[in-house]
Amino acid sequence: MSTKEVEKIFREYDIRGIFGQDLTQDVVFNIGRLLGERLKKLGERSVSIGMDARTHSPILFGWLKSGFENADIEVYDLGLIPTPVAYFATYNTINGVQCKNSVMITGSHNPPEYNGFKITLQNAPFYGEAIRELGQELITQLDSHPFIPSSKDSHKLPALDFYIAFLSEQFSHLAHFPYPIAVDCGNGVAGVAIKQVLENLHIKYEGLYFEPDGTFPNHHPDPSEEENLHDLKTTMAQQQIPIGIAFDGDADRLALLSTNYSYKGDELAILFAREMASRGIKPVVIGEVKCSSIMYDEIDKIGKAVMYKTGHSNLKVKLKELGAHLAAEMSGHIFFKERYFGYDDAIYSAFRALELFIKATPQEIESQIAALPKMFSTPEEKIATTEERKFALIAELKERLANPPSDFPKIVKVIDIDGLRVVFENGWGLLRASNTTPVLVSRFEARSQESAMLYKQKMLDLLAQCQ
């Protein structure tokens, strides 16, 4: 493999690539070995490894385990689990074992040929510059450290059983929930956890695609795409089920639906913040740069809203730094620190969502969203570019915005914490470089469709001058 081929799998938030092409035996072994060396420098001696339903996840487990054990790190096998269970294991003592480090083998919502690693060291995400440094070190050492198979047996750690027991106890007040619900696990791994919790709580549900299958035979496991919610909506309509829940492939992203509405991540943040306020909490909520201005305005009425960078690792770190109660992404990553541990757990978040329907009917929840100020929003759109150009384009655009054309809409301010969120008199426009793919991401919002489309046209015209 060339240096560029190896470098591309080390993303901002995780390591991800195509099995057998990018994630080869020697590459994965050395990822484990080098992470093991880092753990020893931190005074750590063990790591827990879980995996999703992809067909090659067990093979990657063996290669990664061999790498860690080559570095004299003890490996605990978490088995087939949702990603949040790997995080849960780092915060809890399980059968007398307290291990603050984990690797989740998952390709998340990517196509079946992809896989990767989400890494936690000492309860903190391993991401950004740390991942890139690991990649550079691997490149220099790959040829001198070929794969050495492990001869040790795995130590099984039943984190999933502890997680199911925890959720069943935490949400015992939801027992005999008053509405039936529909749940689409998309043949990912959510079903191995949520099925037992629902049954423990005697919640009536219609389950779709609970069986883990890494080929994803029914639909792509990405609930942020409307087309992937078709079967769930059909089931809800045919069986007159008022609440629907869907998960991505590794169960760290949630979609919530009611009879007439699909809730966006920032709308869920408003609902969760209001629920906290009803209990006397003045919520501090972190959103990302793609979130609607409505979310920030509404939460500021009852607490404090903070805008920050997109990305689950960024938000986990900021949540801990600020001591905030909640963080949310448009894509459905929801992070609860209030009553929980502060990471993105779609299964936990699903039960927090069900709590909303104890205090209000599904129609009343829909009415809360309908009563929000009206804004016109464009969907998130992607503009193809290259890895080499994407950040340079944003930097050049920032320079041009400092002295825009005479016919450019009046700029109130430019927020540059993650790309460029340009605030205009009647709305805003966003252009940011994706941290995981060679694209720019755009989104526009305004009080009218005409204003939103004007902001879009003018910003994209200015961007075109940068290319």
**Residue owning tokens 């909490």:** 281
Catalytic residue among 325, 333, 352, 421: 333
276-304: b or e for each residue (b if 16 or more CB lie within 10 Å)? beeeeeebbbbbbbbbbbbbbebbeebbb
Separation between Cα atoms, residue 229 and residue 219, nearest integer Å? 9
Other Cβ atoms within 10 Å of 317 Cβ, number: 18
CA dihedral 450, 454, 455, 458 (to 10 degrees): 180
Known active-site residue 144: no
274 is catalytic: no
* Residue 263 in tokens: 């809730």
Q: Are 323 and 457 in contact (CB under 8 A)?
A: no
Sheet holding 334-336: strands in order across?
304-308, 284-288, 326-328, 334-336
Spot the catalytic one: 16, 33, 109, 443: 16
Q: pLDDT tens digits for 396-435?
A: 999 999 999 999 999 999 999 999 999 999 999 999 999 8
What is the C-alpha separation between 288 and 332, in angstroms, rounded? 12
Q: Are 239 and 206 in contact (CB under 8 A)?
A: yes
CA distance 253 to 329: 9
- CA dist., res. 276 & res. 297, Å (int): 16
Confidence of residue 1 (pLDDT cuts 50, 70, 90): low
Residue 151 CB contacts under 8 Å (≥ 6 apart), including other chains: none
Same fold, 171-370 and 376-464: no
Contact 90, 170 (CB under 8 A): no
Contacts of 133 (CB under 8 A, 6+ apart): none
Question: Is the Cβ–Cβ distance between 102 and 86 less than 8 Å?
Answer: yes
Pick the CATH number of 376-464 from 3.30.565.10, 3.30.450.90, 3.30.310.50, 3.10.180.10: 3.30.310.50
**Known active-site residue 325:** no
Specify whether the CB–CB gap between 360 and 352 falls below 8 A.
no
Q: What is the pLDDT of residues 35-69, one digit of tens each?
A: 999 999 999 999 999 999 999 999 999 999 999 99
Residue 187: CB atoms within 10 Å: 23
Q: Provide the percentage of residues in the chain whose pLDDT is more than 90.
A: 93
Q: Residue 96: pLDDT above 70?
A: yes
Question: Which residues are within 8 A (CB) of 379 and not within 5 positions of it... i.e. 6 or more apart?
Answer: 443
How many angstroms separate the Cα of 7 from the Cα of each of 35, 67, 310? 16, 19, 22
* CATH 3.40.120.10 for domain 3-158: yes
- Burial bucket for residue 105 (CB in 10 Å: 0-12, 13-18, 19+): buried
When the pLDDT of each residue in the chain is averaged and rounded to a whole number, the result is 96
Q: Which of 48, 66, 108, 442 is catalytic?
A: 108
The two structure tokens encoding residue 335: 């992070």
User: What's the rounded mean pLDDT across residues 438-446?
Assistant: 96
Over the stretch 360-369, which tens digit does the pLDDT of each residue have? 999 999 999 9
Q: What is the pLDDT of residues 235-268, one digit of tens each?
A: 999 999 999 999 999 999 999 999 999 999 999 9
What's the fold here for domain 171-370? Answer: Alpha-D-Glucose-1,6-Bisphosphate; Chain A, domain 3 (3.40.120)
Determine the Cα–Cα distance for residues 401 and 466; give it in Å rounded to an integer.
11
For residue range 120-146, list pLDDT tens digits in order: 999 999 999 999 999 999 999 998 999
For residue range 271-302, what is the model confidence (pLDDT) as tens digits? Answer: 999 999 999 999 999 999 999 999 999 999 99
Ranges of each domain in the chain: 3-158, 171-370, 376-464
